Structure 1
Amino acid sequence: MASSTYRLADVGAWLTATAKGMVVHANGPAGKVDGRTAVIPQMRGHRIKVVQDGGTVLLVDETTGVVSRIDPSQLKVEQSRALGGVGLQVLVGSGAAYSVDPAKGTVQQIDPVRLSAVGQPAALTPPLGQAGMDAAGNLWVPEPQSGRLVPFHGGRQGRPVPVGGAGDRIALAIAAGTPVAINSSGATASIVRSEGVQKIALPPTVTQAARAGGVKVPAATDGHIVPMLGTGGSLFLLNTQVGQVSPIALRLPSHRFEPPNVLGPRVYLPDRSTGRLLVFNTDTGDWERPMQVTRPGGGIEVVVRDGFLWANDPAGALALAVELGRPGAKRIQKYDDRVPGGQRRPIPTQARPGDGGQGADQGGAGRGGDSGTPPAPPPRDGTPSEPQNVRVDPLNGGMRVTFRPSVGGRPAGYALKGDTAGLQVRPARVGAGGPYQFTVTGGSCNKTYSFTVAVQYKDANGRNAEKSSLASAPVRPCTLPGTPAGFSGAPRNKSAVLTWDGQGTGVTYLLSVDGGAPTPVTSPHTVVGLRNDQKHQFRLTAQNGAGTAPAQASTEVDLAYPRRMYKNANNNETNTLIRPAPRQEGTTSIGSIPRGEYRDLMVICQVRGGTYTETETNYSSDVWNRIEWNGGIGYLHEGLMTTPRTGSFPNLPLYECEN
């Protein structure tokens, strides 16, 4: 083992084993420990985070801010250095490494081998949020006091990106290499792309988590799904690729959870109250059998890396390795010693977290063998149970409501209840045999709607009765708008006229000019105050109550001078002098046109200069034409040329000279 060099591609992971004062290297496919090393004595008993990227393995003591480097080939600690204080963050990726001290607000690039500082530290406003590194090796640091994400590349601070208001609760997740800022206070998600920031509206209930520190999200996900855990066990999935937010039925409000993680089609939610991983399958839309990681109340750290999910109790003897595409999990014995502490009484848990039942899953086959456990039993009085797992998915102009039917009794059918006023519900009633869904149309994209499903049946006395499900998460009856089509611009003097195809009611547009801040606009829109003889870039974003479109439309408008050929005029009395500047200065000239001669001259643009009176027509003004003359430029008063006189400046179609 000492001759091996562990890399990210070896499908292994370094796991903390604090009860023994060590870290161990586990092999995922084998499900065994194949290397270990002791931490420095000062770290024993402290909270330690393992940071690894390829051959770089760092141990971060979050209690003291001391960082140690492990040499994987020698299985020993090589260097240790104090880089910060309590809660120190260390991030490594794409050959770059940084330390972030949240309490002091300092960001420092470091050498991942020597652990020494590189360059000068940057000072941000503390406290800082959990930072992350994107696919390009850029560091992104949440600065909640300013409501911004602050990027760093090559140790240099970049332009901050606004993602909320000052003091908002902001959490950062890196989804498929792209920064995603979750603003719990404002119920928005900001996806920071190279072409701009995409805003997604989150359910209003997300704001409830702001009072408890904000929603919990994973540090990074391999795909485009970001799971978000709010207060009371509310769980949502944000698809950053299509901008859709889907609620997951989770009815464990009193449990303590760690941030959820995603591996393939499954969401893994660490439940510290039971010591388990709750598993939700996004393909089937159902909860699967939980995975036991540690004793109830124990710690659970989850890391997703290189096609594996690792669940580890730092103080426990066991860890789990879940491989993408393979059923079940490998149980890894980190060491043989028993975990310190006496027996604890298990907390009763639900068979399926989304069912609202009271049973505890202690193993055993369920529906589909190991895929799950049966739902809660029906009531003993012979009546049907309440419908379960009411889910509402947004549609373009409506919503689709699905649910799990009642168990037991003799249901006569199901009706949709809740925020149905002013909406059209089809069918009006779902039969006992299904299909178990409703389609809802109408409503406002700027409002959210929540529903319950009621089972209808006859009670013991033969009277009509109903039982309603728990309320669904609130959803808007719309999806994100598309990228604006037909976006184009026509040049004008110091301006551009922009047009595009509208997308119907409820959709508004934001325009960014030359990389500036976006502002609301309607079509057609004229942008004024532009500089002539330059190209200008325009980006247009569509938005509605659900958020902004996943992609922007862009166009370029070139305000190059529209050069035109015009003849000189009023040249019957004396030679016409070509001036070096837009004013009359005696006989100063750079050339002349002989008296009585009329030529075609290229006019570049017009400029205001000295007032001049043309003697043949007695026309007076301060407008001069800049013309091409003998390979250079010169000036002729407009009274000495046939250029248009529209009563405005400049005389269209000519532009004003900018220099």
Structure 2
Amino acid sequence: MPGVQQRCAALVAAARARLRPTGNRVTGYLAVCAVGTLIGSSLAVGAGASGTRPRIADIGAWLASSAKGEVVHAHGLTGEVEGKAVLPDGMAGHPVSVAQDGDTTLVLDERTGRVVRIDAAQLTAEQSADYGAAGLQLVSGGAYAYVVDPAKGTVQRIDPAMTTAESPPVGVGGKPGAAVVDGDGTLWVPLPDQGTVVPFVEGRKGAAVKVAEAGHELALTLAGGRPVVTDGTTAAMTVLSARGVQGTFELGGAFAGADPADVLVPTGTDGSAVPVLAADSGDLVVVDVRSRQTTRARVPTEGHDLGAPQLLGKRVYIPDESTGSLLVYDTSLSALTEPVRVTDGAGSLELFVRDGLLWVNDPDGAAAAVIDAEGEVRRIGKYGTDAPSARKPGDEPVENSVPTGPPAAPPIPPRTDGPGATAPVSGTPSGGASGSPSPEVSGPGPTQPVPEPGAPGAPQAESRSGAIRITFAKALGATPQRYVLKGAARDQTVTPEAVGPDGPFAFEVRGGSCEEQYSFTVVAEYGGGRPDKESVPSAFARPCIAPGAPRNVTFTPAQGGHGGTVTWQPPQGENGSMTYVVNGPGGTANTTKPSYTYGNLKNRSKHGVSVMASNAAGSGAAASGWIDLTPPSQQMYIVNNTANEDPVIIRTSPLTSEGGRAGTMPGGRDDVVTVVHCKVKGTEIPWSNGEKTDVWAFHTYHDPATGKDTTGYTSDIFVNSRSNPDIWECE
């Protein structure tokens, strides 16, 4: 047995290290090892697997399903739901939060303050304690768990196993923000109104650490096990330890002018890098608090309801609750990539990193997903009914209470008079003491009732691209000759024309308009003079689905800049009429063409733009790009430069009353080349031939003699950029 376990452990370790973790092969190795272990256990103790409960995988997470009043455990490598635990009565429909650390999983009812422990071995949620207040925080880590009461300004340590209090509430001296617990079990409580963070080491309150001025917006992140405070008011970060401040540094000008409340950070990251997002402007900064390397970007915000970003590997994931999607920024490509659709529409999204995987969950619905470091997405269906769950003694599976065929005929009572009468012997079966069947009795007797014709089950309609699929349950009672579909329009075709009595019980309806909704019924035809039976109508459905993301979003600037045209291709496989929602500078616009033109924008600026396709069935994922109005540089010759040997001056400002000399270009030559970036209005300069202009060229001159580059402004008398249509205005 030890040898089998060792070999299995080595095999699983090798599989995880060498294979891309799609879950298929790794799960296979796990299954082989599980079988081997069970066989070994049976040989060792003389018992099989009967009565045992599947073990919850170590690489997984518990996800809340508030509406159903349960939590489910999903496998990180496959996305499969391995088990679920039903929360106590009264919690269904309440918002809940899950605190999981190691083998401890606690659930807080945010409306009542009840804390419940999940028993992963039994898949139960019976151990609980009531802390009697709404709006509490529950945090755990390193064998410690705490309940934080923001309204009262207290922290209370609780027993993670029993869920009961281990100490009375302790005041923290202010109103707490969102707290975190590090791997050592130290609780960190931010007090924005005081500008401090209070640590609780081994359950005991420590000295407050000053991190900001009182009243600043503070948010805590656990980055690679280290607490990091982000001051949204001053755009600064502070790294803490139990001994105090370990380092501080500025985030830079990316958040200048941002609303401090809109500066968002995650509560935890898997490494030392922390993503910071200004939700109003879309400025994104990824800061490595260990190496201090910083990555900056901008994501589209108009029309999006963005939440705190999460970082996994080289990608930053930003929840967009207006679409139920994750915006994805790839730091290695320096670009937005394909968004990840999580829900079918707007909805709340929870993100956290655990075991090197990003988990995203809709606590109010059935949708969830797990994403690995390579960006592979595995969908999680939380509402699946085949997941193991705890059952109380005497409970029967739901399926046993659902009829699957015609009702059984009532038992035939024994005849006691007339021909064929029988007289059972008291205390013994009628077939004799041995229980064998009685001989068939001759003569007339009762007959089985003929089953009545029944209607088919309610049909289910599933929208597909160009079609609607209808499935239904067969009729109970008598067996019909066939099933036919009613409700198809003249421009629709039904396949097959009829379904036989043995199925398969499905129709496909092709054609119709995406702008129209259709409902259908299924008719069971019995023949032989028996009446046909029609089902109830199906729900309305469209013969289309929401389109995918548009492709190849590109921007072509107008001559001279100040705007241009964004173009894209329709989503893959879509050729019907669609409306495109374009989010860019100035807000949201709609168009039916695969292009949109912008004007009156500042040159030397960059704007994010996203395009989302929609039809009558809904909207698809957004595709993103950039409106880049960086003026294109042009090589030009210096003019009016042969009259004398006086050098041509390059200034630091186009206004002669400001700045000074940045450098010069040689005079007396008409072959001097410079690179012109853009042109701008400045001080008007006259020339000896009567020419004058207030245009100045912003350019860079490379001196071949010294190898030095000089960038600045030169009067357009010597450049003539105003006659070049490819030279843009600077702003």
- After TM superposition, the structure 1 = structure 2 runs for residues 262-281 of structure 1, keeping only pairs within 5 Å, are 262-281=311-330
User: C-alpha separation between the residues in 1 aligned to 2:302 and 2:553?
Assistant: 10
In structure 2, the partner of 1:257 is 306
1:334 alignment partner in structure 2: 382
2:237 matched to which residue of 1? 189
**1:173 matched residue in structure 2:** 221
State the alpha-carbon separation in 2 of the partners of residues 122 and 429 from structure 1. 67
**1:305 Cα shift?**
0.3
Quote how far apart the aligned CAs of 1:388 are: 7.9
Corresponding letter in the other structure for 1:163: V
Residues 16 and 166 (structure 1 numbering): CA distance in 2 closer, same or farther, change over 3 Å?
same
- Which of 107, 122, 126 aligns to 1:74? It is 122
Is residue 463 from structure 1 mapped to residue 725 from structure 2 by the alignment? yes
Between the aligned partners of 1:350 and 1:281, the Cα distance in structure 2 is: 19
Distance 1:84 1:91, change over 3 A: farther
Residue of structure 1 in register with 2:667 after alignment: none
1:89-128 paired onto structure 2 within 5 Å: 89-128=137-176
Q: Hey, what's the Cα distance between the residues in 1 that align with 2:630 and 2:267?
A: 46
Q: Which amino acid aligns with 1:96?
A: Y
Per the alignment, residue 19 of structure 1 pairs with: 67
The change in CA–CA distance for 1:466 and 1:192 in structure 2 (over 3 A counts) is same
- CA 467–321 in structure 1, closer or farther in 2 if over 3 Å, else same: farther
Query: Does the 8 A contact of 2:605 with 2:628 survive in 1?
Result: no
SS at match of 2:255: helix
Aligned counterparts of 1:410 and 1:184: Cα–Cα separation in 2: 33
**Which residue of the partner structure matches residue 540 of structure 1?**
none
From 201, 219, 240, the counterpart of 2:250: 201
1:265 Cα shift?
1.2
- Give how far 1:41 is off: 2.3
| Contact 1:274/1:349 (8 A) holds in 2 | no
Deviation of 1:173 (Å): 0.5
Extract unaligned runs of 5+ from structure 2: 1-50, 386-459, 463-538, 556-562, 574-582, 585-593, 609-624, 637-651, 664-672, 679-698, 701-719
Aligned 1:17-416 pairs, distance under 5 A: 17-83=65-131, 85-193=133-241, 194=243, 196-204=245-253, 206=255, 208-210=257-259, 213-230=261-278, 231-325=280-374, 327-335=375-383, 413=634
CA positional deviation for 1:20: 2.5
Question: Is this contact kept in 2: 1:251–1:354, CA < 8 A?
Answer: no
Deviation of the 1:244 alpha carbon: 4.2
2-structure distance, mates of 1:100, 1:468: 54
Counterpart selection for 1:3 from 45, 53, 59: 53
Question: 2:56 touches 2:82 (CA, 8 Å); kept in 1?
Answer: no
Secondary structure of the equivalent of 1:117?
coil
1:172: Cα distance to partner? 0.5
Q: Size of the alignment, in residue pairs? A: 417
Check the 8 A contact 1:6/1:55 in 2, yes or no. no
The superposition leaves residues 105-141 of structure 1 with CA deviations (integer Å, 9 ceiling, x where unpaired) of 1111110011111123210234211111123221100
Deviations 1:237-287 (A, max 9, x none): 122113344321212244111111011111100011121111111122111
Residue type at the aligned position of 1:198:
G
Give 1:26 shift.
0.9
With the length of structure 2 as denominator, give the TM-score of the two structures: 0.50
The Cα shift of 1:158 comes to 0.9
Contact 1:303 1:310 in 2 (8 A): yes
SS at match of 2:185: coil
Matches of 2:569 and 2:382, distance apart in 1 = 25
Cα offset, 1:299, TM superposition:
1.3
1:379–1:385 contact (8 Å) kept in structure 2: no
Cα separation, 1, equivalents of 2:653 and 2:369: 43
1:302–1:466: structure 2 CA closer, same or farther, 3 Å change rule?
A: same
Q: AA paired with 2:168?
A: Q
Q: For the structure 1 residues 281 and 389, does the alpha-carbon distance in structure 2 shift closer, same or farther, using more than 3 Å as the test?
A: farther
The CA deviation string for residues 294-318 of structure 1, in whole angstroms up to 9 with x for no partner, is 1332111112100111111122222
The secondary structure found in structure 1 opposite 2:167 is strand
What does the per-residue CA deviation read over 1:308-357, in whole Å, with 9 as the maximum and x for residues that have no partner? 111111222221111123x4201112225999x99999899987999899
Report if aligned partners of 1:63, 1:87 keep a CA contact under 8 Å in 2. yes
SS in 2 for 1:145: coil
Cα RMSD of the aligned pairs, angstroms, is 4.8
**Are 1:351 and 1:361, in contact at CA under 8 Å, matched by a contact in 2?**
yes
Does the Cα contact within 8 Å between 2:606 and 2:627 map onto a contact in 1? no
CA separation of 1:64/1:342 partners in 2, compared to 1, >3 Å: closer, same or farther? farther
Distance 1:423 1:104 in 2: 63
Contact 1:129–1:144 under 8 Å retained in 2: yes
Q: Secondary structure at the match of 2:304?
A: coil
Aligned-partner SS, 1:19: helix
Q: Which moved more, 1:12-21 or 1:343-352?
A: 343-352
Secondary structure, aligned partner of 1:120: coil
- In structure 2, distance between residues paired with 1:98 and 1:381: 53
Change (3 A) 1:423 1:164: farther
Distance 2:568 2:634 in 1: 30
- 1:87 to partner: Cα distance: 2.4
Q: Does the Cα contact within 8 Å between 1:288 and 1:352 map onto a contact in 2?
A: no
Cα deviations by residue, 1:344-393 (Å, 9 ceiling, x for unpaired): 9989998799989977998659xxxxxxxxx99888799x99888699xx
Could you say which structure has the higher strand fraction?
A: 1
Q: How much does 1:78 deviate? A: 2.2
- CA 1:12 to 1:419, structure 2 compared with 1: closer, same or farther past 3 Å? farther
- Paired amino acid for 2:233: S
Structure 2 vs 1, CA of residues 410 and 381 (structure 1 numbering), >3 Å: closer, same or farther? farther
Shift of 1:169: 0.8
CA 1:423–1:351 in 2, change beyond 3 Å: closer, same or farther?
A: farther
Contact 2:111-2:135 at 8 Å conserved across structures? yes
Ranges in structure 1 where 5+ consecutive residues have no aligned partner: 366-374, 392-403, 433-437, 440-457, 470-659
CA contact (8 A) 1:65 1:85 kept: yes
Deviations 1:590-623 (A, max 9, x none): xxxxxxxxxxxxxxxxxxxxxxxxxxxxxxxxxx
CA apart distance, 1:75: 0.6
For 1:413-452, what aligned pairs fall within 5 Å after superposition? 413=634, 429=675
Counterpart residue number, 2:490: none
- Cα shift readout 1:33-79 (whole Å, capped 9, x = no counterpart): 11112122221111111111111111111222211111001111021
Q: CA 1:463 to 1:313, structure 2 compared with 1: closer, same or farther past 3 Å?
A: same
Matches of 1:76 and 1:320, distance apart in 2: 23
